[in-house]
Chains A and B, each alone.
Chain A
Amino acid sequence: MLKYRVMKKILSILFLSCLLMAAKAQNPTFSPSSFTALDQVTLTVDVTGTPMAGQSEAYIWIFSNPAGNGPAKDGIVNGSWTSSSLDGKMTAAGTNKWSFTFTGITLFQLTPGELNNFGFLVKAKDGSKQTPDYKPYYFDPLVFVPKAIRVFPAKVDVDDIVNMNYERTLTTTTDEQRMTPVSATITMFDDANNQVGTPLTVTNIRKTGTDVWTVYFIPSTSFTPPAGKKLMKFRCKFNGTLLNTSGATVTVTSSEVETTFTTMK
């Protein structure tokens, strides 16, 4: 009987943990899911479990570039910490859910080139209660930003031909710069942030440019999500070899990048 109770408790904890993970995976949400600094976007955040839970009104405190790559500025709707501006009042979007609509360049009074990412928190007007920071969330670039590991096309859905490119000259470590890629490892996640199946090793790699290697895969063909779930994102890293100072072949692996699917029609 005792074993049964312990088992029941463990299962309950596991179930709650899964729920929490699922909630965390999708909070906050953005509509549209991808946007540039010129696009209007609506963020919706669930403040359940934070000091702001159960409040009848909420104000946003929003700031630019918490992850660097541009000027750090407060949004023009913030007001002061002890007296938020009415322009920063959030709209109720359900129990403990609040939404706010903005356009990056207007909100931060920065140029698109200066806006890379942003963060925010939800607070009481007088600053007596607040959520933790939600950050960083990235604007889509308006100019081409070279990356060592880059997905093509930049936005992909689960049934697209996904090209993962490894551009060796843009890598930052000596090993990566000397590595000749021979495969890539793809790890898939569903919308509850759980890994889907086992990682896929793609060995059909092509040299597609000067110091550029590419692997291809179709997510929905290679991965099947559990019932009731859908593929949400994947991580990709490249594997390769290099010759060490003794002339011996050494296996090395690149850093890993994450790509979230865009729902398309």
Chain B
Amino acid sequence: MKKTILNIMLLSVAVCLLQSCEPKDYKSVGDPVTPITSLMGTWKINKVTQADENAKYLAFNNPSINVQEQDITTVYPYADLQITFNGNGLTPTTFTTVLGNSPAIVKLTNGNWTTDNPTVPTIITLTNGTITQQLTISAYPTPASPVLKLIVQKKDATTNKLLVSYTYEFIKK
């Protein structure tokens, strides 16, 4: 008898719990992101960070000033700079850069761009004739964070040791 009463009580609690559930109105996650196409378009610089990679690697610390990286966005008129990646469907085609008074972050003003992976690229290679330059993709633009982060890495010409990097955060123009 006791067992039957206990079972009825448990069943009642379970029914109550199930009754209290109701569907939540979650927002749509949006269309699937295709990284290669998300790179296409005209971008302008939002933030520039310069890093001493050796100081980062060795975790150098100075209480007075950050010796690992510095925000240099406002040091020079980077806001003038624009870069356009053109494409045809999933295929990268040409690129152009407009400097204005900004320091040149890439050596080329126009040419073709390619990627190391057709769908999920991590490296963008800019080419004009025999001149090439590689940009490392640090972050793709997404609906939640529409920022494209590109990194220019500079290595010791003899040892290939990474010494300096510039991280450029772009937003769509």
Determine the main DSSP class of A at the interface with B: loop
How many pairs of residues, A versus B, come closer than 8 Å at their CB atoms? 87
Chain A residues near B75: list those with CB within 8 A: 161, 216
Chain B residues near A210: list those with CB within 8 A: 64
Q: Is the CB of A152 within 8 A of B70?
A: yes
Least CB distance, B155 to chain A, in whole angstroms: 6
Q: Is the CB of A212 within 8 A of B154?
A: no
Query: Which parts of A124-171 form the interface with B (CB within 8 Å)?
Result: 140, 142-144, 146, 150, 152-157, 160-161, 163, 165, 167, 169
Given A155-B163, A163-B70, residue A263 in contact with residue B157 (CB < 8 A): yes
Given A153-B50, A161-B75, A216-B75, residue A264 in contact with residue B64 (CB < 8 A): no
Chain A residues near B53: list those with CB within 8 A: 153
Query: Which parts of A200-242 form the interface with B (CB within 8 Å)?
Result: 208-212, 214, 216, 218, 221
Q: Does B119 contact A (CB under 8 A)?
A: no
A14-22, A27-35, A76-84 - interface stretch = A27-35
Q: Is the CB of B55 within 8 A of A153?
A: yes
Q: Does B62 contact A (CB under 8 A)?
A: yes
Query: Which parts of B42-95 form the interface with A (CB within 8 Å)?
Result: 50-55, 58, 60-62, 64-65, 67, 70, 72, 75-76
Can you list 17 A-B pairs with a CB-CB distance of less than 8 A?
A: A32-B159, A32-B161, A34-B156, A39-B159, A140-B54, A144-B55, A144-B58, A150-B67, A152-B52, A154-B55, A155-B54, A161-B72, A163-B72, A210-B64, A212-B65, A216-B72, A264-B154
Q: Which B residues have a C-beta under 8 Å from some C-beta of A?
A: 50-55, 58, 60-62, 64-65, 67, 70, 72, 75-76, 103, 154-159, 161, 163-164
